[in-house]
């Protein structure tokens, strides 16, 4: 991780603004301007009683602060929007520049690795928020899709394998924040203990080889709409059996998918495609239409 230094309120606000989608930063900056401008031009009520005098001083101070920040805060969020746009193009260029094979994933910086992983998830239908360094509790990316939150921890480790402690840490943060799933992504590999701990839990371990496959699929723009060749039904009882004929491919592991019904969340009762390897894989695809429609 990078070293941390003490930052000012404006610097922290700029970091937050740059992590937001550009349109959201721009909207916040615009709303702040109109609100603070209305406060700055509003006359301060005058009074002769002591309690009214105190209110007048408070109102005058607030009016002064609003007069200053009506320009400062919109500029900060405007700069944040520009940084967000530049970062978006940089992530796209970074993903397109990664070539299959070789040690490309290990040759980029840790910050570029996080950007690359975030862009790969974006192209799989997730909304992605990069957390501020030093305050992430071991989480580098926060993903959202279909109203559900997933956490991601990125480890660009060249020499050593990712240990079980890293996976345990992410699982603990998932439980504390109510995330339904998580990913630990590395350019290398995981230890046997890490894989054993993740098995049966909603934590997916993504090694360098699998990440390279994701990147290749994302560059082809065939994450959600492609299909695999017909496969034989898996030996699985009950309604979770894979239907015969062409199978829909999981966007994460490329395994065939099956129709499931949401049991919780805002889409409860609706059908969706879920990976046949669940809970080992958390891949999902939306159904063509909600149940009953």
How many CA atoms are closer than 13 Å to the CA of 163, on its beta-carbon side?
3
Task: Provide mean pLDDT across the span 26-30.
Answer: 93
pLDDT tens, position by position, 82-102: 988 888 788 777 777 776 554
Q: Give 293's pLDDT tier (boundaries 50, 70, 90).
A: very low
Residue 149 gets which letter from DSSP?
Answer: E
pLDDT tens, position by position, 101-115: 545 676 788 888 888
What is the average pLDDT value for the chain, to the nearest integer? 75
pLDDT tens, position by position, 207-249: 888 888 878 777 665 443 332 333 333 333 333 444 444 557 7
Note whether 97 and 119 are within 8 A (CB): no
Residue 4 gets which letter from DSSP?
Answer: -
pLDDT tens, position by position, 117-146: 888 888 878 888 887 654 445 788 999 888
Nearest to 154 by CA among 130, 172, 174: 130
Q: Give 75's pLDDT tier (boundaries 50, 70, 90).
A: very high
* SS (HEC) of 159-171: CCCECHHHHHHHH
How would you class 93 by CB atoms within 10 Å of its CB: exposed for 0-12, middle for 13-18, buried for 19 or more?
exposed
User: In this structure, what are the phi and psi dihedrals at residue 22, rounded to the nearest 5 degrees?
Assistant: -55, -40
Rounded distance between C-alpha atoms, residue 166 and residue 173, angstroms: 11
Q: What is the pLDDT of residue 277?
A: 74
Distance, C-alpha 79 to centroid of its chain = 22
Give the 3-state secondary structure of residue 213.
Answer: helix
pLDDT tens, position by position, 134-188: 444 578 899 988 888 999 999 987 667 899 999 999 998 988 888 888 999 998 8
- List the domains of the chain with CATH numbers: 9-97 (no CATH), 104-220 (3.40.1350.10), 226-293 (no CATH)
Q: What is the pLDDT of residue 181?
A: 87
Q: What is the pLDDT of residue 129?
A: 84
DSSP calls for 53-100: HHHHHHHHHHHHHHHHHHHHHHHHHHHHHHHHHHHHHHHHHHHHHPPS
| Helix (H), strand (E) at residue 11 | helix 9-19
Please state which of the ranges 21-25, 125-129, 259-263 shows the lowest mean pLDDT: 259-263
What are 140's two structure tokens?
């580098």
Note whether 152 and 202 are within 8 A (CB): no
- Residue ranges with strand state E in the chain: 127-130, 141-145, 148-155, 181-186, 203-206, 257-261, 271-275, 284-286
pLDDT tens, position by position, 35-62: 999 988 888 766 556 666 666 777 788 8
Note whether 287 and 259 are within 8 A (CB): yes
Rounded distance between C-alpha atoms, residue 289 and residue 189, angstroms: 39
């Amino acid at each position: 991780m990078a070293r941390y230094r003490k930052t000012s309120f404006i610097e922290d606000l700029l970091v937050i603004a740059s992590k937001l989608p550009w349109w959201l930063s721009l909207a916040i900056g615009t709303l702040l301007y109109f609100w603070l401008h209305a406060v700055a031009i509003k006359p301060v009520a005058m009074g002769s009683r002591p309690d009214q005098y105190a209110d007048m001083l408070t109102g005058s101070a607030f009016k002064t602060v609003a007069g200053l920040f009506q320009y400062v805060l919109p500029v900060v969020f405007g700069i944040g929007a520009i940084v967000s746009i530049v970062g978006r193009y940089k992530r796209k260029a970074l993903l397109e520049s990664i070539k299959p094979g070789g040690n490309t994933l290990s040759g980029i910086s840790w910050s570029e690795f996080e950007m690359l992983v975030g862009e790969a998830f974006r192209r799989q239908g997730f909304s992605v928020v990069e957390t501020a360094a030093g305050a992430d509790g071991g989480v580098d990316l926060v993903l959202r899709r279909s109203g559900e939150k997933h956490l991601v921890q990125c480890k660009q480790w060249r020499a050593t394998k990712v240990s079980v402690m890293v996976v345990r840490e992410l699982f603990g943060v998932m439980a504390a924040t109510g995330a339904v799933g998580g990913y630990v992504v590395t350019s290398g590999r995981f230890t046997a203990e890490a894989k054993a701990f993740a098995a049966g839990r909603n934590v997916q371990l993504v090694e360098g080889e699998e990440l390279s496959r994701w990147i290749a699929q994302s560059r082809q723009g065939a994450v959600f709409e492609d299909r695999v060749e017909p496969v034989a039904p898996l030996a699985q009882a009950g309604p979770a059996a894979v239907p015969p004929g062409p199978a829909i491919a999981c966007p994460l592991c490329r395994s065939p998918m099956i129709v499931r019904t949401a049991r919780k969340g805002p889409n409860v009762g609706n059908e969706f495609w879920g990976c046949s390897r669940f809970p080992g894989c958390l891949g999902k695809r939306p159904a063509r239409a909600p149940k009953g429609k």
